[in-house]
Amino acid sequence: MAAKTSQPERMINLLALLVQRTQSLTLKQIRQELVNQYPAGDSAARAAFERDKAELRALGIPMDMVTLGGDKAGEGAYTVDRRQFEIGDLGLNDAERAALQMAIATVRIGASYGDEALWKLGGERALDRPSTSVNIQMDDRQLPALATGVVEHRTLKFVYKGQQRQVDPYGLLSRGGFWYIVGFDHLRDAQRVFRVDRIEGDITNGEAQSFARPEGFDLAKAVPTELELLAEGNGDDAIATVLVDASLAQRVKTEFGQGAVLRERSDGAIEFAIPCANLGAFRVWLFAMVDRVEVLGPPRVREHIIGHLNALAGRN
C-alpha cells in the first residue's frame, strides 16, 4: 500500500506539475501524473483537489480553469501561469541590496532561509567582518513542527515551564526579539501565549484539521506589543533613562510617544524614559540599535547591561 501523501506535499507536487506543463490538465490527468496522491474514489479525489485548489488560491497562486471541447466537451482543465505569481527581478541597486544585507544580519531567525532569499535577490551575507545582531532564535528543528501545526491545524504537544502542554496553535509571531506561539491551551482551558525559546525538548504534532481557528482571531493583538513586553515584569527599577543617537531618535519617539521624551539635546539626540521591568525584552530592544544608544540610568539597569555585554564579549 502506497504511503499517504500529506496535503502540503501534494499541493507542492500539484503546483510543480501545472507550472511545468504548457497545456491544461484535467483532474483525471492530474491523478494519473500524481500517482496515489489523491484518494481512489472519484468523489473523494474531487473533494481533496478542491481543497488543494482553494489553499493555493488563498496563497495568491492563481489556478485557471478552461472548459474543453471536442470529445472532452464540458470537462474542466487546469493550468497555472507562473508569471502571475512569481517575483521577478526587483531591480535592487547596490545600496538597496546592502540595506537588505544589513537587515538580514541584524535580525536572524536561526535558520538558513534568510540567506537563501538574499542570494535569490542578487546579494550575499558579508562574512569578512564581525557584526552585531539580534538573534530571534527559531532553529531548523522547531520551525517545521510549529509552522506545520499552524498551517495544518494540528494540535501541538510540548513541555513548557516543566508542564506537559497540549495547544491548538492559532498563529506564530515574532515580537520584541522573541518568537511566540498563540493558541488554545487545553491545560488552562483558555487562549494562551507561549514564548518559543522556553519550550523544552521536542514538539510533536497531532492529526491534521483537529481544531478550527476562531473567527475574527487577530494574531497581532493576541501577543503583547513591544511597549507592553518591556513593561511586563517586576523590579525596583521599572523605567530606564536611555540616550538615543540623532539618527534613530525620531524613530524611537514615534514608537513610544512624546510622553517618553525626557530631554532633547542640541545635536538631535534624545533622552527617553523607557520601561525596563522585563530586562530580557529591554536588552533585545536596546541591542537592536547597536552603538547608537546608551543606558544612562538607573545604576542597576546600566550595570546589568554592561555586565551582559561583557559576558557576550567573553570578559570576566
* CATH number of 213's domain: 2.30.30
Residue 110 · residue 47 · CB < 8 Å: no
Stretch 293-311: mean pLDDT, rounded? 90
Position 1 in a domain: no
Position 210 in a domain: yes
Q: Phi-psi bin for 191: left (phi > 0), alpha (psi -120 to 50), beta?
A: beta
Position 193 in a domain: yes
Question: How many domains, in total, are found in the chain?
Answer: 4
Q: Which CATH number covers residue 279?
A: 3.30.70
Domain boundary among 168, 196, 223: 223
Render pLDDT for 199-250 as a digit per residue (tens, 0 to 9). Answer: 888 899 999 999 998 888 888 788 776 666 666 654 445 789 999 999 999 9
Which pLDDT score, from 0 to 100, does residue 167 have?
96
Best-predicted range by mean pLDDT (119-133, 169-183, 225-239): 169-183
Q: Which structural domain, as residue segments, surrounds residue 48?
A: 7-84
Position 15 in a domain: yes
Alpha helices in 69-205 (DSSP H): 94-106, 113-120, 142-152
Which residues, 6+ apart, have CB-to-CB distance to 218 below 8 Å?
Answer: none
Position 271 in a domain: yes
Please tell me whether residue 180 adopts helix, strand or coil conformation.
Answer: strand
Position 261 in a domain: yes
Domain boundary among 223, 243, 259: 223
Stretch 108-124: mean pLDDT, rounded? 49
Which residues, 6+ apart, have CB-to-CB distance to 146 below 8 Å?
Answer: 156, 169, 172, 181, 196, 203
Best-predicted range by mean pLDDT (48-52, 93-97, 107-111, 134-138): 48-52
25 and 80 housed in the same domain: yes
pTM above 0.75, yes or no: no
Q: What is the DSSP letter of 66?
A: E
Residue 307 pLDDT exceeds 70: yes
- What cell was used for 198? 522556553
Residue 34 · residue 16 · CB < 8 Å: no
Residue 132 to residues 123, 129, 135, 176, 291: CA-CA distances in angstroms?
A: 19, 10, 9, 17, 9
306 and 242 housed in the same domain: yes
Position 241 in a domain: yes
- What cell was used for 253? 519617539
171 and 234 housed in the same domain: no
236 and 304 housed in the same domain: yes
Which pLDDT score, from 0 to 100, does residue 232 have?
60
104 and 149 housed in the same domain: no
What are residue 180's DSSP bridge partners? 173, 195
48 and 67 housed in the same domain: yes
Domain boundary among 223, 245, 260: 223
Which pLDDT score, from 0 to 100, does residue 184 have?
95
Q: Distance between CA 267 and CA 258 in Å, rounded?
A: 18
217 and 275 housed in the same domain: no
20 and 59 housed in the same domain: yes
285 and 254 housed in the same domain: yes
Query: Nearest-CA neighbor of 199 among 227, 232, 167, 154?
Result: 167
Helix (H) or strand (E) segment spanning residue 179: strand 178-185
Residue 166 · residue 157 · CB < 8 Å: yes
Position 89 in a domain: no
